[in-house]
Structure 1
């Protein structure tokens, strides 16, 4: 049980780290509030008992989804990008992947994909930095950082992704955290008059003029934590599927074609 306790106790601290700094702390102006967690549930229901079980371990944790699980007698709960299973009486808790042998796939990812879709849908188009062909076949969301090597590699190939019909919509994830120079640089990028050029310059190691404005960087950072981000770049498909880190343009196109074919 200790690993799970650590997970839940850590879940709140990660979420707390992601909040917008107050004015005057680091110079950033807070952006839009992060999306709300799941709506309250009736405490007398299996869903309510599942949420109560989670909150016994951490009263302040955000539950993003609670629903019937693929296994009888359990509810599926999504917490900070993790999928957990709680018995309908609230007594037992399971963590880990749930693999359907007959279907040959990890069904625990279905609920998490739904949460990703719902949370990403709350991000306005104006809060994204978009590199897209005129009529893309696919659109992916990429949580990016200006300092990470594979984020830079992905951006160096942005023309090839676009040529292959893939639109890239960037969200910010300064992995060093809100108090870091990395965070401040990403604020400057999102506050630039030409965000696309500022992001390209930052990824090329060029100096980006320091700017401040109402910006979504803290909200993006919090969102990344909530959908289970473990490293950058994090590529998420329109279906809410997380891809395995950086993927070369041709490999990503092939994977997206396969997902579309599986329907």
Structure 2
């Protein structure tokens, strides 16, 4: 009797799994037939909202009903928990293990005790990066791992090379980004820049600046000093107060 009960219990648990798998298959088929751009779906999974499914293509998220009759492109908000579920999911999908960063291909900028850490991918031709760098001057006690990431203009690679090959990389970078003083022409082994580009492609870093904190959180775009402080505190498990 015990064996029969165990088998029945296992069968009962298997039914929802089989149903969910069949439903996901139906969604994939329907969307691929109706929207050719959705023929390579990476994942289909139910959301906390009954009858609504998340459809993931890379790091792009869409939502659909159980039959794939409707597609929603937007954000899913949990009003009770006051959380943006779409934002939370994308943050998880785009997180980068800080310990996996190839720090040898970056140069470091240390302020104060340098206890807190952040990695930043930047292009010297990026106007937003210049604004970010000027704001970053107000953040103390931090080590910045600066990855040159020349993706914006034909001469981004040349400027990145001159900075990477400078006698003092930090000074050359700060002079250009904060004081608009162009780096002197220099040459050296720039294979690190190629590795940075390869790393960025692998992790879908498509814009600059892109910040990566020690807890794996990725932030695309320029943020102010106050937001950097907040993110650094979150990464180190500290609490922050706002005025």
TM-score exceeds 0.5: yes
Displacement of 1:114 after TM fit? 1.4
Query: Do the aligned partners of 2:76 and 2:85 also contact (CA within 8 Å) in 1?
Result: yes
CA RMSD of aligned residues (A): 4.0
Instruction: Name the counterpart of 1:102.
Output: 80
Displacement of 1:137 after TM fit? 5.1
Q: Give the secondary-structure state (helix, strand or coil) at the position aligned to 1:242.
A: strand
Q: Give the secondary-structure state (helix, strand or coil) at the position aligned to 2:91.
A: helix
Q: Structure 1 residue 139 and structure 2 residue 125: aligned?
A: no
Change in 2 beyond 3 A, CA 1:176/1:258: closer
String of CA shifts for 1:100-156, please: whole Å, max 9, x gaps.
111222111112111222476643222333324575554333231212234234435
Displacement of 1:99 after TM fit? 1.2
- Gaps of at least 5 residues in structure 2 are 1-20
Listed as ranges, the matches of 1:75-90 within 5 Å are 75-77=54-56, 79=58, 81-87=59-65, 89-90=67-68
CA distance in 2 between counterparts of 1:173 and 1:84 reads 30
Displacement of 1:193 after TM fit? 6.9
Relative contact order: is structure 1 or structure 2 higher (C-alpha 8 Å, sep ≥ 6)?
Answer: 1
- Gaps of at least 5 residues in structure 1 are 1-43
Instruction: Name the counterpart of 2:37.
Output: 57
CA distance in 2 between counterparts of 1:181 and 1:62 reads 37
Rg (Cα) greater in structure: 2
Query: Do the aligned partners of 2:119 and 2:146 also contact (CA within 8 Å) in 1?
Result: yes
Q: Structure 1 residue 174 and structure 2 residue 150: aligned?
A: yes
Query: Do the aligned partners of 2:209 and 2:221 also contact (CA within 8 Å) in 1?
Result: no
Between the two proteins, the alignment pairs up a number of residues equal to 208
TM-score (norm 1): 0.58
Displacement of 1:252 after TM fit? 2.4
Query: Do the aligned partners of 2:125 and 2:152 also contact (CA within 8 Å) in 1?
Result: no
String of CA shifts for 1:190-243, please: whole Å, max 9, x gaps.
46675444534543422341445423232254257x25x5x5333343342526
TM-score (norm 2): 0.62
Instruction: Name the counterpart of 1:35.
Output: none
Instruction: Name the counterpart of 2:219.
Output: 242
Larger proportion of helix: 2
